[in-house]
């Protein structure tokens, strides 16, 4: 097949002829990207590519089932032929020349993915996760707390937030404003849950420490011991680099110590969390002012990289730190890579104090990531934001479907508010989570292809479907909005001998996968529930309690 024209409303397909077989006696020999391969009779171009170790993305294809050739993500181009063919269904023919790794093929695959995304309804990442400046996996933390897996929960939190007990007390909680539950009654109390996890970790007497990689031999100087500098030191250590924080105050913490009242942020909590950063090997030097006690040129000479993270500074201070100044905008540096353009010098600061401490902490991890890339000769890109789709605001009647997976009670207010949640209160608040994130996001082939091909989820704007969920007695959830009509589940249920199974209903763009004759999902999947979940490439069919990595 070939994609003849691609637009938001239609895809026109037609078959492109394959080269005529030239050698009927011997095994077919063909070339893919100028590499020759011999395959058995009956093999496809996809089989041949796999034999060569060439990775061609697929979604509607599964080994052991007949090719559906519907998603068009596995297309390749035949030399001296116009158009594209799906490699999963194209027979390998002797003498065939195939192109699988060209810009033209990549564009065709990307267009196919963008067309699938135009009709896709689901959140890869929950809204709270997306709006968190630190990009913490909030839904995963909530599920871990609910299951009593507190050690796992602190691991999840500290993957992105170095000072969770601090932020659990002073963060203005943009994540809670973005929580979908806020559209119904009140957002989940995410900050108090994060604080609960961190407080329990500190109170245990043996705070969790990550396993560190071998020492890289690289040393990074960090100017400033505020939330940005401390977070940068923590994540640089997790990358295996030595981190030395130079701060001019008597004790590290920056604005956390100088600008936040002790009744909001008890100093013993701040000191305990700073101690966890020192515990991973970050060196914290106090009473050292760079530019007065230590020249910036000396740091640039003696260290493999330098991060300037002094918080709010003025033009005079910027000059002492060798930082380019951009007037009212403050220090000039790339907000994605934190690079100043001056070689090994990076920056994460501004002309005014950060309004959100969580953003300052996020900058620390972002800067550490970029510096790690610089030190290890990786492309300097900064933190990569994962691909995600968005459902957006709920339509009338959709809230009830989300609430079916959650406790309907009001937001839990801790009885002893200054002390935070008890374990029972935390569990009760966790039960209010709507589980907006996709249960199969880590394994979704549509998401993986979108990331690999750089697809734009909003390329073809259309009026979105209405959110639907169907439930199976054995715990399977079916979300038609995520279905790409690949037909794999239809084949699986037929092979399993299901009495009803699943089938296509409707024609053209209105075609949908359904249980025939209006029967329930439980009736349709009496035998093959696990098999159809395993075969589904997009998480349209998944288990309610599917584990997330």
* Confidence bin at 353 (pLDDT 50/70/90): low
- Examine the pLDDT at 90 and tell me if it is beyond 80: yes
Higher pLDDT, 544 or 494: 494
Mean pLDDT, rounded, for 105-129: 96
- Examine the pLDDT at 508 and tell me if it is beyond 90: no
In this structure, are residues 85 and 105 in contact, taking their beta carbons and an 8 Å threshold?
Answer: no
Candidate CATH numbers 3.10.20.740, 3.30.70.1060, 3.40.50.12170, 3.20.20.450; the one for domain 2-117: 3.10.20.740
- Examine the pLDDT at 21 and tell me if it is beyond 70: no
Give the model confidence (pLDDT) of 1-19 as tens digits: 334 443 333 333 334 444 5
In this structure, are residues 153 and 197 in contact, taking their beta carbons and an 8 Å threshold?
Answer: yes
The pLDDT assigned to 355 comes to 67
- Is the whole model's pTM more than 0.85, yes or no? yes
d(CA 415, CA 425): 9
What is the average pLDDT value for the chain, to the nearest integer?
91
Q: What angle do CA 31, 34, 35 make, to 5 degrees?
A: 65
Q: In Å, what is the CA distance from 323 to each residue of 192, 212, 229, 298?
A: 38, 32, 16, 15
Mean pLDDT, rounded, for 458-478: 89
**Which tokens sit at 417?**
């508010």
Mean pLDDT, rounded, for 174-197: 96
d(CA 253, CA 238): 20
The proportion of the chain whose per-residue pLDDT surpasses 90, expressed as a percent, equals 83
> What phi and psi values does residue 120 have, to the nearest 5 degrees?
-95, 130
d(CA 238, CA 215): 10
Higher pLDDT, 462 or 64: 64
For the domain covering 219-375, report its CATH number.
3.50.50.60
Q: Which of 348, 363, 542, 295 is nearest to 439 (CA)?
A: 542
- Examine the pLDDT at 352 and tell me if it is beyond 90: no
- Examine the pLDDT at 23 and tell me if it is beyond 80: no
Q: In Å, what is the CA distance from 348 to each residue of 131, 209, 360, 547?
A: 20, 25, 8, 36
Give the model confidence (pLDDT) of 374-384 as tens digits: 999 999 999 99
Q: How far apart are the first and last CA of the chain?
A: 37
Mean pLDDT, rounded, for 333-344: 94
d(CA 1, CA 356): 53
d(CA 435, CA 403): 9
Q: Which of 200, 199, 177 is nearest to 189 (CA)?
A: 177
d(CA 544, CA 406): 12
In this structure, are residues 310 and 271 in contact, taking their beta carbons and an 8 Å threshold?
Answer: no
503-505 and 305-308 as β-strands: parallel, antiparallel, unpaired?
A: unpaired
CB within 8 Å of 247: residues ≥ 6 apart: 224, 225, 226, 229, 254, 284, 285, 286, 287, 288
- Examine the pLDDT at 77 and tell me if it is beyond 60: yes
d(CA 539, CA 534): 9
Give the model confidence (pLDDT) of 187-218 as tens digits: 999 999 999 999 999 998 899 999 999 999 99
CB within 8 Å of 298: residues ≥ 6 apart: none
Give, as one character, the DSSP assignment of residue 147: T
d(CA 402, CA 234): 37
The pLDDT assigned to 312 comes to 85
373: number of Cβ within 10 Å: 18
- Examine the pLDDT at 245 and tell me if it is beyond 80: yes
For the domain covering 127-207+394-430, report its CATH number.
1.10.1060.10
In this structure, are residues 543 and 504 in contact, taking their beta carbons and an 8 Å threshold?
Answer: no
In this structure, are residues 195 and 219 in contact, taking their beta carbons and an 8 Å threshold?
Answer: no
The pLDDT assigned to 427 comes to 97
Q: Which of 33, 16, 22 is nearest to 89 (CA)?
A: 16
In this structure, are residues 87 and 123 in contact, taking their beta carbons and an 8 Å threshold?
Answer: no
The pLDDT assigned to 11 comes to 37
> What phi and psi values does residue 541 have, to the nearest 5 degrees?
-115, 120
Q: Which of 23, 74, 29, 26 is nearest to 52 (CA)?
A: 29
The pLDDT assigned to 354 comes to 59
The proportion of the chain whose per-residue pLDDT surpasses 70, expressed as a percent, equals 93
């Amino acid at each position: 097949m070939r994609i003849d024209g691609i637009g938001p409303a239609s895809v026109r397909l037609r078959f492109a002829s394959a080269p005529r077989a030239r050698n009927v006696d011997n095994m077919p020999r063909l070339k893919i990207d100028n590499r020759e391969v011999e395959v058995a009779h009956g093999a496809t171009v996809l089989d041949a590519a796999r034999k060569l170790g060439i990775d061609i993305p697929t979604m509607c294809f599964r080994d052991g089932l007949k090719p559906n050739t519907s998603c068009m993500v596995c297309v390749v181009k035949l030399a001296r032929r116009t158009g594209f063919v799906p490699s999963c269904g194209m027979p390998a023919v002797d003498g065939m020349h195939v192109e699988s790794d060209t810009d033209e093929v990549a564009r065709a695959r990307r267009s196919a993915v963008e067309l699938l995304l135009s009709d896709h309804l689901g959140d890869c990442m929950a809204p709270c996760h997306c709006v968190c400046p630190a990009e913490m996996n909030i839904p995963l933390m909530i599920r871990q707390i609910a299951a009593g897996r507190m050690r796992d929960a602190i691991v999840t939190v500290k993957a992105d937030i170095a000072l969770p007990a601090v932020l659990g007390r002073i963060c203005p909680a943009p994540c809670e404003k973005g929580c979908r539950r806020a559209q119904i009654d009140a957002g989940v109390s995410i900050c108090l849950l994060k604080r609960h996890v961190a407080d329990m970790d500190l109170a245990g007497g043996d705070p969790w420490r990550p396993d560190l990689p071998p020492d890289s031999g690289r040393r990074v100087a960090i100017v400033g011991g505020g939330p940005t500098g401390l977070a940068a030191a923590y994540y640089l250590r997790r990358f295996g680099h030595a981190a030395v924080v130079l701060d001019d105050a008597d004790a590290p913490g920056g604005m956390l110590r100088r600008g936040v009242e002790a009744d909001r942020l008890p100093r013993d909590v701040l000191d305990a969390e700073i101690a966890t950063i020192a515990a991973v090997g970050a060196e914290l030097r106090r009473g050292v002012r760079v530019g007065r006690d230590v020249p910036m040129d000396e740091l640039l000479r003696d260290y493999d990289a330098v991060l300037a993270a002094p918080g709010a500074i003025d033009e005079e201070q910027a000059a002492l730190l060798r930082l380019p100044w951009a007037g009212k905008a403050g220090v000039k540096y790339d907000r994605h890579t934190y690079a100043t353009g001056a070689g090994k010098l990076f920056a994460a600061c501004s002309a005014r104090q950060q309004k959100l401490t969580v953003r300052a902490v996020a900058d620390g991890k972002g800067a550490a990531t970029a510096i790690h890339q610089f030190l290890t000769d990786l492309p300097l890109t900064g933190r990569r934001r994962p691909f995600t789709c968005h459902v957006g605001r709920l339509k009338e009647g959709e809230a009830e479907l989300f609430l079916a997976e959650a406790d309907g009670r009001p937001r839990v207010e801790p009885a002893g508010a200054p002390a935070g949640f008890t374990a029972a209160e935390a569990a009760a608040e966790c039960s209010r989570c709507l589980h907006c994130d996709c249960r199969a996001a880590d394994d979704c082939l549509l998401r993986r292809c979108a990331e690999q091909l750089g697809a734009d989820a909003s390329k073809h704007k259309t009026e979105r479907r209405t959110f639907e969920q169907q439930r199976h007695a054995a715990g399977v959830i079916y979300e038609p909005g995520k279905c790409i009509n690949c037909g794999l589940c239809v084949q699986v249920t037929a092979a399993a001998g299901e009495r009803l199974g699943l089938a296509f209903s409707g024609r053209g763009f209105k075609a949908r996968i359904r249980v025939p004759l209006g029967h329930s999902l439980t009736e349709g999947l009496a035998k093959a529930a696990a098999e159809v979940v395993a075969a589904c490439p997009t998480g349209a069919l998944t288990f309610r309690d599917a584990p997330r990595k």
